[in-house]
Amino acid sequence: MNWIRQPGVVAALPAAIFLFVGFAGPLLMVFGYSFMPEKTFTLKQLPTVENYVSVVTDSYYISFTWSVFLAALTVLLLFPICYPIAYGMAKLFGKWAKLVTALIAIPLLISENIRLFGWVLILLKNGIFDGTMQSLFDVSVSGLLYTVPAIVLGLVYVYLPFMLFPLVIGISMIPDVVKEAAADLGANRWQVFREVELPLAMPGIMIGCILSFILVLGSLAESKILGGQAIVMIADDIESAFTFAQNWPKGSVLSVLLIALSGFIVFTLFRRIDLDQVIGRR
Amino acid sequence: MSEETTPFLELAGVTKKYGDFTAVSDINLSIREGELFTLVGPSGSGKTTMIRMLVGMDQPTSGEMRLKGRVLNKVPANKRPTCMVFQSLALFPHKSVGENVEFAMKIAGVDPARRRQRAEELLAQLRLPLDCYDKGVNQCSGGERQRIALARALAFNPEILFFDEPLSALDFRLRKALEKELKDIHRETGKTFVYITHSLEEAMVMSDRIGIMRDGRIVQVGTPHEIYNKPINEFVAKFMGEVNSLEVEAVGENMVKSKVYGDTYHVGTMPAGFTAGFLIIRPEVVKIGKAAAPMPNRIQGVVFNDYALGSRIQYQVRSATNGDPWLVERLQDEAYEGQLGDTVDIGWRPEDSIVLSE
């Protein structure tokens, strides 16, 4: 029992206990509930896999697919949008980078739902955008709200900082002199980008992509507020199961499956890219 | 000194200003094909700015750079037939040694088999073990990384290879070895090398010719021999190593008078029209004790300290007049016979001193 007297163990203990009670504990409970009979509120029943069977045979694959599709689409849109901004913030803007950072970070202080309702006002029929178009060009652009594109707009808007800031860090890790060396050896801008910049920024790119992908996968507000009844995302299903349907075991099964899916994606991606090698520690 | 050949790399009035600050001022320089030319200067003398303009990472504010008569100014870095070994080496950390060396050939579209063959040739030429081809560059030692950077640059097959103090971060012994190795590689490849360093010692060992820079200007250009024996001014003389320097004025034919001591000294030669300037006496020409007695130029001082320099011993002798330190260097077998703290004469022959106007 010598290890317990190590200062590191003692020092880590409060944090470890806190993480266990606050983070691992609830996850374990969710895992436990997923094996309980339908509509029970206790963990004392005999375990069963009936919830898994019913979820798999039910039509939940639709909301799973929407979530994965929208997460992938959001990442694909965010990357080209954020990369130039991140590049500017890391390499070009100089003292103005702080201002840009503030402009992007300050909206995060306002609740996501309130910002999304702001978009509702803009996209609404006879709303800000529609009204402006009507008065200026005499064209009506109603029907923007409660569509999948509106959801995508909301997702891109809300999760932009989560792609942007890791990219800034990734890009600022590239030494300028290495890019100069590539140019000196004959590489044009595109070749410098592909051969040097992109691989060296990869840790930041990976973190940005995974972060925004996972966040969209578990997102709820965008599809509800901007999408109305257009589609149902998996987080929406989980919420309904826990609240409206009062079926904790079903909600737990969906949560476990979503966590498993996220975990699978994250670990596969991280394994494909050797971060140490990318950073140059090897 | 070899006779003037056709200009290979020519700089005409090259100037670089950053706002009000002039980093490089009106440089006129001609570098010959196949030579190893070294630009030496203290930090801030503009040598890095020079090399950055030559490889295309900076643009001159005015003036022209020509390679074999072709104006380089507007040619972007990736289109110039020049290449640089960076101070930080700037190896690609995410690529293997082989991929680093092959980079220029990959960009140029050389087929993989040919690339690999050439890379292996270069690794062998630079005495790098072949099994490091697949290693990550960060797994290699400092000396190996230097060679990889050089191999990567040579693989580009540049007309001129520039070096921005690549050896400065290495420990003394490795640096000494690589200086000579670099000169050998220069001999083997026959390419034009332009090297910059703040170490004149390094420049002396390697160079065919040296250009000494100060405050954005080239002060003197010449072979190591010329610069050592005929420094153009006190700055160059002091830059070459430790010297005894006195402010003097002319008092007659080959006679100068010290402004500080009031003594007069005989000198071998004086620049035409010399009125006032500096008298430079290198420590190794100064005699001490008995050996100083027959010398026409003498001063008296107290032997304050001695320093072992390997094959030589250096003494600090403090002038009896004003306590100024004088440096005297003797070979071990002709060491000073007295004690520290003794008052002695030190002296030198007229022809061993150098008179400079500035």
Annotate B84-129 with DSSP letters as a single string.
Answer: EEBTTB---TTSBHHHHHHHHHHHTT--HHHHHHHHHHHHHHTT--
User: Last residue of a domain, which of B201, B235, B269?
Assistant: B235
Decide: B33 and B69 in contact? Cβ < 8 Å.
Answer: no
Of residues A267, A269, A240, A264, the one with CA closest to residue A254: A240
Closest CA of chain A from B97, distance in Å: 12
Residue B2 lies in a domain: no
Residue B331 lies in a domain: yes
Tokens of B30: 């001609």
**pLDDT score at B263:** 86
Q: Are residues B26 and B136 in the same domain?
A: yes
**In terms of CA atoms, which chain B residue is nearest residue A281?**
B138
Residue B265 lies in a domain: yes
| Per-residue confidence band for A240, with pLDDT thresholds at 50, 70 and 90 | very high
CB A185 to CB B139 under 8 A?
Answer: no
Residues in chain B closer than 8 A to A194 (CB atoms): none
Of residues B45, B71, B49, the one with CA closest to residue B59: B49
Closest CA of chain A from B154, distance in Å: 10
User: Last residue of a domain, which of B220, B235, B250?
Assistant: B235
Closest CA of chain B from A99, distance in Å: 25
Q: Are residues B78 and B169 in the same domain?
A: yes
Q: Are residues B97 and B219 in the same domain?
A: yes
Tokens of B299: 């001063």
Q: Are residues B119 and B22 in the same domain?
A: yes
Q: Which amino acid is at B240?
A: M
Mean per-residue pLDDT, A8-12: 85
Residue B1 lies in a domain: no
CB B94 to CB A199 under 8 A?
Answer: yes
Per-residue pLDDT tens for B296-311? 898 889 999 989 888 8
CB B138 to CB A178 under 8 A?
Answer: no
CA B203 – CA B217 distance, rounded (Å): 18
Nearest beta carbon to residue B139 from set A180, A279, A282: A282
Residues in chain A closer than 8 A to B138 (CB atoms): 280-282
- Percentage of chain A beyond pLDDT 90 is 64
Whether residue B94 lies within 8 A of chain A, CB to CB, comes out as yes
Per-residue pLDDT tens for B207-222? 999 999 999 999 999 9
Longest CA pairwise span in chain B (Å): 76
Closest CA of chain B from A279, distance in Å: 7
Count of A-B CB contacts under 8 Å: 72
Decide: A163 and A76 in contact? Cβ < 8 Å.
Answer: no
Decide: B192 and B31 in contact? Cβ < 8 Å.
Answer: yes
Helix, strand and coil in chain A, % to nearest 5: 75, 0, 25
Residue B1 has pLDDT above 60, yes or no: no
CB B138 to CB A195 under 8 A?
Answer: no
Residue B149 has pLDDT above 90, yes or no: yes
Helices (H), B192-277: 200-206, 224-229, 234-239
**pLDDT score at A276:** 57
Residue B3 lies in a domain: no
Tell me the three state secondary structure of residue A243.
coil
Per-residue pLDDT tens for B315-347? 999 998 888 899 999 888 777 888 888 888 999
Mean pLDDT rounded to a whole number for chain B? 89
Q: Are residues B140 and B272 in the same domain?
A: no
User: Last residue of a domain, which of B219, B235, B251?
Assistant: B235
CB B93 to CB A200 under 8 A?
Answer: yes
Residue B4 lies in a domain: no
- Number of domains making up chain B: 2
CB B90 to CB A282 under 8 A?
Answer: no
Of residues B232, B231, B191, B223, the one with CA closest to residue B205: B223
CB A187 to CB B107 under 8 A?
Answer: yes
Instruction: Give one word for B99, left, alpha or beta, with left for phi > 0 and alpha for psi -120 to 50.
Output: alpha
Query: Hey, which residues does B163 pair with through a beta bridge?
Result: B85, B195
Per-residue pLDDT tens for A181-234? 999 999 999 999 999 999 999 889 988 999 999 999 999 999 999 998 889 999
Per-residue pLDDT tens for B233-284? 899 888 878 889 989 988 888 889 888 888 889 898 888 888 889 999 999 9
CA A148 – CA A63 distance, rounded (Å): 13
CB B55 to CB A281 under 8 A?
Answer: no
CB B107 to CB A186 under 8 A?
Answer: yes
CB B78 to CB A280 under 8 A?
Answer: no
Per-residue pLDDT tens for A56-112? 888 899 999 999 999 999 999 999 999 999 999 999 998 899 999 999 999 889 999
Q: Are residues B194 and B287 in the same domain?
A: no
Distances (CA, A) of B114 to A195, B105, B118, B232: 20, 9, 6, 50
**For helices A198-217 and A148-172, what crossing angle results, to 10°?**
140
Mean per-residue pLDDT, A176-182: 93
Decide: A270 and A103 in contact? Cβ < 8 Å.
Answer: no
**In terms of CA atoms, which chain B residue is nearest residue A186?**
B78
CB B136 to CB A282 under 8 A?
Answer: yes
CA B37 – CA A265 distance, rounded (Å): 56
Q: For residue B117, what are the contacts with CB-CB under 8 A and spacing of at least 6?
A: none
Tokens 């991140």 -> residue: A86
Whether residue A175 lies within 8 A of chain B, CB to CB, comes out as yes
Task: Sketch out chain A's domains with CATH numbers.
Answer: 28-279 (1.10.3720.10)
Residue B5 has pLDDT above 70, yes or no: no
Query: Hey, which residues does B346 pair with through a beta bridge?
Result: B288, B299
Which structural domain range is residue B71 located in?
Answer: 9-235
Residue A281 has pLDDT above 60, yes or no: no
Q: Are strands B217-222 and B209-214 parallel, antiparallel or unpaired?
A: antiparallel
CB A177 to CB B86 under 8 A?
Answer: yes
Q: Are residues B155 and B270 in the same domain?
A: no
Q: Are residues B214 and B303 in the same domain?
A: no
Contact map slice: B 135-164 vs A, CB within 8 A? 136, 138-139, 152-153, 156
Nearest beta carbon to residue A177 from set B79, B90, B94: B90
Distances (CA, A) of A38 to A42, A46, A61, A242, B291: 11, 12, 19, 12, 110
CB A185 to CB B90 under 8 A?
Answer: no
Helices (H), A91-195: 96-105, 112-123, 128-137, 148-172, 176-184, 189-192
Q: Are strands B244-252 and B312-319 parallel, antiparallel or unpaired?
A: unpaired
Decide: B254 and B294 in contact? Cβ < 8 Å.
Answer: no
Whether residue A185 lies within 8 A of chain B, CB to CB, comes out as yes
Closest CA of chain B from A20, distance in Å: 38
Decide: B241 and B262 in contact? Cβ < 8 Å.
Answer: no
CA B227 – CA B208 distance, rounded (Å): 12
Q: Are residues B195 and B268 in the same domain?
A: no
CA A257 – CA A64 distance, rounded (Å): 9
Whether residue A37 lies within 8 A of chain B, CB to CB, comes out as no
CA B287 – CA B352 distance, rounded (Å): 11
Closest CA of chain A from B77, distance in Å: 5
Whether residue B194 lies within 8 A of chain A, CB to CB, comes out as no
Q: Which of A176, A184, A193 best tests the B interface by mutation, with the highest count of B CBs <10 A? A: A184
Listing from the earlier edge strand, what are the strands of the sheet with B297-308? B287-288, B343-348, B297-308, B312-319, B325-331
Annotate B27-96 with DSSP letters as a single string.
Answer: EEEEE-TT-EEEEE--TTSSHHHHHHHHHTSS--SEEEEEETTEE-TTS-GGGSSEEEEBTTB---TTSB
Closest CA of chain B from A175, distance in Å: 8
Query: Hey, which residues does B24 pair with through a beta bridge?
Result: B16
**C-alpha angle B7/B13/B18, rounded to 5°?**
130
CATH number at residue B316: 2.40.50.140
Residue B128 has pLDDT above 80, yes or no: yes
Q: Are residues B206 and B289 in the same domain?
A: no
Distances (CA, A) of B59 to B8, B53, B64, B65, B76: 20, 5, 10, 10, 10
**C-alpha angle B277/B280/B284, rounded to 5°?**
175
Whether residue A188 lies within 8 A of chain B, CB to CB, comes out as yes
Q: Are residues B214 and B347 in the same domain?
A: no
CB B103 to CB A281 under 8 A?
Answer: no
Mean pLDDT rounded to a whole number for chain A? 89
Residue B83 lies in a domain: yes
**In terms of CA atoms, which chain A residue is nearest residue B151?**
A185
Nearest beta carbon to residue A183 from set B78, B139, B153: B78
According to DSSP, residue B331 is labeled E
CB B88 to CB A177 under 8 A?
Answer: yes
Mean per-residue pLDDT, A151-163: 95
Q: Are residues B98 and B213 in the same domain?
A: yes
CB A277 to CB B57 under 8 A?
Answer: no
Residues in chain B closer than 8 A to A281 (CB atoms): 138
Per-residue pLDDT tens for B79-103? 999 999 998 999 999 899 999 999 9
Whether residue A186 lies within 8 A of chain B, CB to CB, comes out as yes
